[in-house]
Structure formats: structure tokens, C-alpha cells
Structure 1
């Protein structure tokens, strides 16, 4: 077990007995083999992609007797392997998949019973009724098998699963994962196994090996909880960073009925290759710059090698579907982007409900992206729900207590969560669930951006990544600073209980907001991606100014005398009116440059404050102010109407303001209902 982010402390040396069982590659390299923890292949073989071969100092280790199975710490369990052979050129075979009895045993005893779905997809050859052969090296993927494993060359072809009806396949309209895909997951089969996963606290205290092979992050909490025991035992430890790596708990895979359910839901049926590549490109162009939660280098390397989490992939598709070209939808029978997002959300949710993904960082990334799906106004399983789950999981792994030496992608994930929480709190009018006073995660800098490896620079980078990555990341850093300032405004000015802000407090908040707005890069040859981000940031900035002064249009701040209240209201109205006009200018520029379709989901939320001000101005006694309010509101309604093609939340906002406009226009005119 190692402590994360403590590079300055010397490694702890511990003597241990040589493992009886190890793979050939680890034995030659003289490194720790995790085969007794995770089953074959070990983590090193999985990462290196080498063929797994067993080496044992005990000839009887590979074939323990039944009595040894009962008494051994790591008893040998049977492995059930379900093989489904799928061919695009043959009709569906309704017969159940066949299981080879000879494949029900593995070459080494894993600690848990494991069931793995092996889906073989061949576009060019006839269907072979015999199950494909698999060696032991194919039975485990990264992090216990929760990966989608495909070759580097992704083939095309319409997927027709034998477990689905032809009607279901037509409604899905997708092609399958090429050549060979292995889907494994983990689930305790009984409560007794759960007890073996309760040693993480002890592992963290004992501080075993400093290696990361076969380990997962673990956060025991701060000094309010069990972490105080570590301070008692090691009062002079050099770091109070309670982030550790502990051995990955022993695991089992999905039950057969869960596998059948996921197959029926289409969770193992990916879109065609050109759709996949378009979605990944849209993700890194339009989603990742606003929420850089992934390590682009690791993701692209894993994707090109065919090793990626299915849950994460579907979740990425949900967020990226808002930006895919409409021509691709008609080719695959999706009437709209919303229909495409709904289909992908159903698959991601099925995997989540089945407890498919066990890596918590991947799980946090996935549920964060699932929050880009808006269901209805009751929000039972919408953005607020999924963001709340991501926040809860992030606390369990300690993302809120990360030092500068921690992984940049983890800190980007935490600050992306915070930004989304602030804007959701604003858009839904609900209290924030993240308090920065309880967070000690280090701020970000330009050094924390993604750095692509040399093997990705070139064709792969041009295929998926935007050109102005450095400018986009700097703009995101400005957005984080802006959102932190906005979060302070929500905490101080929109509390049910608390002291009302003074004028000096409001001026300090405005200064904090304005300090985040730097000169945005502008050039004649800038890309549409960068241009859309510049306009959206201006919109967010002006929306934050409106949110700051909006409460004081009718209610003056603390310490303002009665004689000066009228003057203060005029100042608040002027501030909000100017900000709303500037924001409408950014919206007008996006419409003129045909960039509305590239707007992020936060843009829907940011439009609402300025539309509220325009609606308020449309009731003014001053004719010019009233007509300008109506004009700008109509402009924003036009933009919101365009966003309805991609976001259900935009549809809800459009209907709200449409009803408000009709109510104001049809209401009898009374002098006391208008303002000056």
C-alpha cells in the first residue's frame, strides 16, 4: 500500500516471502505479480499486453486438492464463461449460447467465482456455432475486467445479437464492437465475501508495498473519522494527505441474468464506427474543454488499443450527442439528438444499475457525464441526481482533499464537479452540496493540462482533439475562477438564513467576478470551437454580474439608509441592465456566426438570468426600455428555441418564458405593476 502524492517521503522497505505462484513475465522482471489477488492474467500482463504464462515454485499449486480449496486463503473457484458468436451476414440464431465444459476451469485458482461474457463479432466470415476459444489471458481486463476490449483496428458492420429480436435491433440502429470484446464486471455473490473487502483501513495503516500494481485509491477520511488512528500510531508522519493505494478487493462478475438484461438493453451494442469516432471527436471539442475530467492521453491510448470502460464510453456519448451532425442521425434511424441521447442514457443507466463499473474514478466520471441527460422537471434521475451521486463518490475517494502533487486529472475532475454544482444550484434554485470551506484541493494552473504522448501526436490527435488546446484550457481556468466567485455569491446572497450583504461585500464580490475575466484570444483565423467558447464565457461572465445584483433590485443591501435606497435600486437596475445587454450581444454574435448549436448545457442555465432581466424590462414605464426589453427577450427566445433541438432543459425554459410573456401581454395594464 502506498500513499499518493507523497513523493518526498522515502519508500518503506518491508521483507516478505517470495510468492509461490507468479506469471512468467513478472518472474523474469522480478516484480510483484498480482495473480493471487486478481486472478489470471495479472495486472502487469494486462497492462503490457503480453501472453500470460504461469510459473510456480510448487508443482501442486496449479491443481489444488478439494481439501486445499476449502482451507486455502485464495481458494480455487470455477469460472463460468458465456460465449456469444455474432455474425453480420447470418440471420439471428435464437438458440442460447453454448458453453464449453473444458473452458469452465482456469489455469490458476482465482479468489472469486467469475463470469465473463465473450462476444465475438466477425463481419466477413460465416457464423461458427462452436464457441470461440479463449485462453486465461483473456478472462480479465483492466480493473477487474470492467473494460471493453477490442483490437486497435475497429471494424464496421451491423450488429445483430442473438439475444435480441429483429425489431429491437432495428430500433437500436447500431453496429457492434468488432472482432473480440470481453465484458467483465464484479459483484459479491454472498455476504461473506463482503467481509474480505473490509481491510482497506488496516492496509492503509500498515503501509505495505509502495507499488501501484493491482491497487485502487482509498481515502479513510479526515481526522474526524478513522484517520485519527493513523495519527495516533504515526504522530510524526511527514504528510497528512490521507490518500492511499490499497490492493484491489477480490471480485466476482455479473450474474447471468444481469448479463442477459444488459444484452437486451443493448449495453453491449455500440454504435457504428463512424458514429463512435464522431461522438468522441465532439466530446473532446465541445464537452471536454468545459469539463476536462478525463486524461485525454490515457483515454485515447486505451481507446486505440480497444480497452475502455463501457459505462464511461456510453456516458461520454450522452454528453457528446448534443453536438453530432444531424445527417448522421438520419442514417441510423434516430429522429433527433434527444432520441440518440435517450438511447445512450438507457444503456449507461442499465450498466450503472447492474453495478458494472467498480473503479470509483471511472464511476465518478461516468455519472458526472450521465448528468448531461435531462429527463423532466421533477428531476428524479436528471442532472441534479447524477451530480449528487458524483459528489458523494468524490468524497469517498477524497477528491476534495488533493494536494498539488496529486494527479492533475483528479483535481480537474473535482473542480469540474464544483463548477457544475454551482451552475445547477443557480439554474434550479437549490442549495449547493459542496462547501469550499470543507475542501482543500489545490487550485489548478496551466501546468495541469493534458499532455499527449508522442505516439498520439499526429493522426490520432488531429482526428479527435481541437487545435487550440492551450487557449481552451486557459479559458477553462478562467471559468473555474468565475464559478468560484459565483459560488460565493450564491452562498452569501441567496441563503434562507444569514446576515444580508453590505454594499462593501457586494463590491468585493463584483471585483472577484471581474478579476476572472481576462482578455480572450481573438484572431481572424480562430476555429469555430474557440470562437464558441469565447462567446459562451462572455455570457457566463455577464450572467454572474446579473446574479450578484439581481436580489437588490427590489431589496437594498444592509447599511443603506432609507434616503439612499432609491439611488441603490437604480444602481442595481443599471448594473443588471448593462450586463443583460452585453450578454445579449454575445448571444447575437453566436447566432450571426452560426454557433448556437455548439453551446454547452450550462449555456441554457446562463441564459435564464438575462432573460429574467429582459422580461422585467419589458414591463418598464419607459417606452425605450420596454421595447428594448422585448427585443432582447425575443432574441434570447430565438436562441433558446434553437437549443431545444439538443437539450430538454432548453425546452422547459422556453415554455416557461413563453407562458410568462403571454401572461404579461394579456394582463390589464396598471400603473402600479410597472416600474421606471
Structure 2
């Protein structure tokens, strides 16, 4: 709990002890929690799963064992070994336990899908191989007698999670179809795009009013839900955008029709990226950015992919509005870098792309990427003291998919 809390806490004492960032404090809590886990201190396997989920908040070393991906996979394995993937409706367990097991399982499911999308790795949970019932708002009552509960369920939190699970299912299917190792985007998959588009539209239409985000009446949990929706739309429509201008399926005009005959649904991706940026800007203004889960870093990455693609699409100067949105995303990444080291890495990647002139310097995929980053760090007002450039060799970023890097080399 202290490890997870240290990522979002604004305690002056905590920041003072950790040199104005949460990184070192989180590292200390992580080492202590890991020592207890390695020693087998906790014998309640359900509590172990809950602890492993929270340990997944530590992701400071993308190359090492102590990663979000690693701990989430361990949590899923332990959960499956004690049967949390099976229906417990007919068991003799107390109602509160049944609800708890269901909440834990669907939490693991959403984490699994989010990490698959963010890291480009295969999902661990096959939706055809578990029979846990769908989660609903009553599952958030933590006692058998909800009226006598010492800590009543927060209905807003429950509504968020129910909608988040459904959105995670769609996002996972989109990722599996277009971005997994075995996937290949071909013309015949246009039917799949229309199917996923219909699913996202249906999800959007059935949201409860409390989960509809509007800038004029900002609500934190509704904004988190819409960030994930924006990522799902970007995932779907980026798969059908050409890697470069001038490719055969591009007609060089600004086609705003999502279902256009040339299969380039640019406008939908732009709208989703703009929505992500607007929400992030509102979170900054409301001083809530620090409370967002780590997936917000991927949300910003997804939005920046589309923004930079828009800037590169035309030969003239970039639109001031697009430039402004890029600046907002980069500013947010710098704000988040105190809690999430990967935010600093993403900031560095896009700083390089924005400084690099492909017309003058050639395609960045054919240059020494690490050397280019070193030049940026030493020469132009950018400082990335916490980033190990060797991470460039092991990352899973898909910049080349949008034509921002050469498809053959320079992959992050």
C-alpha cells in the first residue's frame, strides 16, 4: 500500500526524503515489499494476489525483473492457481468473498489488457478460458449486509470500473487483431474495423450520465474512462492510416469521413488524440494529473503519435493548434516524470522526433539513434539524467508504424 501510495502522494516529507521525486521513496518501499514476498511472510494467497497487483505499480527498470509486467503476470498465475478464474456463484463462500474474488479477477483482466496495449506484449488471460461472471455495481459492497458497512461503496468508483472492464475487452480485441505478433493488417480486415467501430459506438452510447466527460463539468473518473476510450479509437484507426504520405492508399486530401472509400480514417484518430490532450490539459489545470494511473503515460504517447503524424503530413509549417497540443502533451510528460520514469523516456523520444528534420537529415531510422539522443541531451536545452540510453535496444514502441521511423530499422 505504501509503495502504491508513494507514486501519487504529495507529502512534503516524502518529497523531501526523496529529492523532490517519488522515485527513490518508491524504490525503498518496493524493496521492503519484495523482501516480504520473497520470504513468504504472507500466507493468505488472496492477500498475496492483492499485494502483487500493488507491486505492479513499480516500473522503474524496464529491463529488469521488477517491472509492472512481471508482477502482474505473477499475480495472474497465483490467482489462477487458487481458482479465481472460475465461477463461484454456487459455492458456500460468503457473499462478501464472492464479490471480492470477482473484483480481483476483473482487476487483473484490465491490467493484463492495459499492459498488452502499452508494452506490445501478449495477453496472459484468454477470455475463453475463464467463466467469472461480469462485474456489476453490487460487487463493490464489501460486506454481506451493505446497509451495515463501515465503509460504504462509492457508486462513482463502481460505475467507472464496470465501464472500464467493458472498454478493456474491446481494446484487447483491437490490439489482438491489429498489433499482436500474429496479426497482419490487410484489406480484408476492413469488416473487423467496422465491427470494432460499432462496439466502441455502442459502449459510448450506453455509458451512465455520470461517466460522460465534458470540459465544462470535469469529473476525474469520467476523464479516466474517456482517456482509455481515446486510446482505443487511436489504436483502431491508426491501424488503417498509411505509414507515409504518398503511399498508394493515400489520396493527399484531408478526408474527414471515418468510413471513406480509401480506408484512411484520419479524422477519427485526430479527434481522439485531441480529446486525450484536452482531458490532460484539464487534469493539469485541476492539479489532478499526478493522481492518474500509469496508463496515462501511454495515453499521451498515443496522442503524440497522432499529433506528430499530423505535423509531418504536410510539407509546410505545422498548424499552431497542433503545435500547442504537442506542447501540452510534452509538458504533461515532464510533470509525470517525477512519478513514472517511462514518462521521461517518452518525452525524450518525441523531443528527438520533433527536432529531427527528415527532409534535411534523412529518415531517423537510418541514423545512430543513441548518438542522436546524446546530441539532443548535450546540445539543446534537453536534460534526461534518469534515462539509460541502452533502453532503446529493448523497448517496444511502435513509432515506425506511423512512418515516424523507418519500418526496417530504428525501432524502439
TM-score range with shorter-chain normalisation?
Answer: 0.7 to 0.9
Structure 1 residue 410 and structure 2 residue 410: aligned?
Answer: no
Secondary structure in structure 1 of the residue aligned to 2:312: coil
Pairing 1:290-369 to 2, within 5 Å after superposition: 316-330=1-15, 335-369=20-54
Greater relative CO, 1 or 2 (CA 8 Å, sep 6+)? 2
- Checking the alignment, whether the CA contact within 8 Å between 1:520 and 1:534 is kept in structure 2 is no
Shift of 1:444: 0.9
Corresponding residue for 2:199?
512
| d(CA) in 1 for partners of 2:116, 2:157 | 25
- Checking the alignment, whether the CA contact within 8 Å between 1:334 and 1:340 is kept in structure 2 is no
Pairing 1:434-445 to 2, within 5 Å after superposition: 434-445=125-136
- Checking the alignment, whether the CA contact within 8 Å between 1:546 and 1:576 is kept in structure 2 is yes
- Checking the alignment, whether the CA contact within 8 Å between 1:394 and 1:414 is kept in structure 2 is yes
The number of equivalent residue pairs is 339
Q: Deviations over 1:43-99 (max 9, x none)?
A: xxxxxxxxxxxxxxxxxxxxxxxxxxxxxxxxxxxxxxxxxxxxxxxxxxxxxxxxx
Shift of 1:645: 1.6
- Checking the alignment, whether the CA contact within 8 Å between 2:237 and 2:268 is kept in structure 1 is yes
| d(CA) in 1 for partners of 2:29, 2:135 | 32
Larger Rg: 1
- Checking the alignment, whether the CA contact within 8 Å between 1:620 and 1:626 is kept in structure 2 is no
Could you say if the C-alpha distance between residues 649 and 498 of structure 1 is closer, same or farther in structure 2, counting changes exceeding 3 Å?
closer
Shift of 1:636: 0.5
| d(CA) in 1 for partners of 2:85, 2:229 | 25
**Any runs of at least 4 consecutive aligned residues in structure 1 with deviations exceeding 6 A, and if so which?**
562-565
Pairing 1:134-213 to 2, within 5 Å after superposition: none
Secondary structure in structure 1 of the residue aligned to 2:239: helix
Structure 1 residue 428 and structure 2 residue 115: aligned?
Answer: no
Structure 1 residue 401 and structure 2 residue 86: aligned?
Answer: yes
| d(CA) in 2 for partners of 1:580, 1:618 | 13
| d(CA) in 1 for partners of 2:14, 2:183 | 51
Shift of 1:402: 2.0
Pairing 1:204-223 to 2, within 5 Å after superposition: none
* TM-score normalised per structure 1: 0.46
Q: Deviations over 1:75-125 (max 9, x none)?
A: xxxxxxxxxxxxxxxxxxxxxxxxxxxxxxxxxxxxxxxxxxxxxxxxxxx
* TM-score normalised per structure 2: 0.74
Richer in strand (by share): 1
Could you say if the C-alpha distance between residues 653 and 569 of structure 1 is closer, same or farther in structure 2, counting changes exceeding 3 Å?
farther
Shift of 1:389: 0.5
- Checking the alignment, whether the CA contact within 8 Å between 1:377 and 1:652 is kept in structure 2 is no
| d(CA) in 1 for partners of 2:227, 2:113 | 16
Richer in helix (by share): 2
Secondary structure in structure 2 of the residue aligned to 1:323: coil
| d(CA) in 1 for partners of 2:279, 2:126 | 31
Corresponding residue for 2:229?
541
Could you say if the C-alpha distance between residues 594 and 667 of structure 1 is closer, same or farther in structure 2, counting changes exceeding 3 Å?
farther
Could you say if the C-alpha distance between residues 355 and 522 of structure 1 is closer, same or farther in structure 2, counting changes exceeding 3 Å?
closer
Shift of 1:665: 7.5
- Checking the alignment, whether the CA contact within 8 Å between 2:85 and 2:131 is kept in structure 1 is yes
Shift of 1:370: 0.4
Structure 1 residue 449 and structure 2 residue 136: aligned?
Answer: no
| d(CA) in 1 for partners of 2:20, 2:272 | 38
Could you say if the C-alpha distance between residues 662 and 625 of structure 1 is closer, same or farther in structure 2, counting changes exceeding 3 Å?
closer
Corresponding residue for 1:663?
356
Corresponding residue for 1:572?
265
Could you say if the C-alpha distance between residues 333 and 615 of structure 1 is closer, same or farther in structure 2, counting changes exceeding 3 Å?
closer
Corresponding residue for 1:636?
329
Match of 1:552 among 240, 261, 279: 240
Could you say if the C-alpha distance between residues 454 and 629 of structure 1 is closer, same or farther in structure 2, counting changes exceeding 3 Å?
same
- Checking the alignment, whether the CA contact within 8 Å between 1:379 and 1:385 is kept in structure 2 is no
Pairing 1:87-102 to 2, within 5 Å after superposition: none
Could you say if the C-alpha distance between residues 331 and 663 of structure 1 is closer, same or farther in structure 2, counting changes exceeding 3 Å?
closer
Match of 2:210 among 516, 521, 531: 521
Corresponding residue for 1:486?
171
Pairing 1:219-298 to 2, within 5 Å after superposition: none
- Checking the alignment, whether the CA contact within 8 Å between 2:159 and 2:211 is kept in structure 1 is no
Corresponding residue for 2:189?
502
Corresponding residue for 1:586?
279
Shift of 1:514: 2.8
Unaligned ranges ≥5, structure 2: 92-97, 252-259, 364-402, 405-412
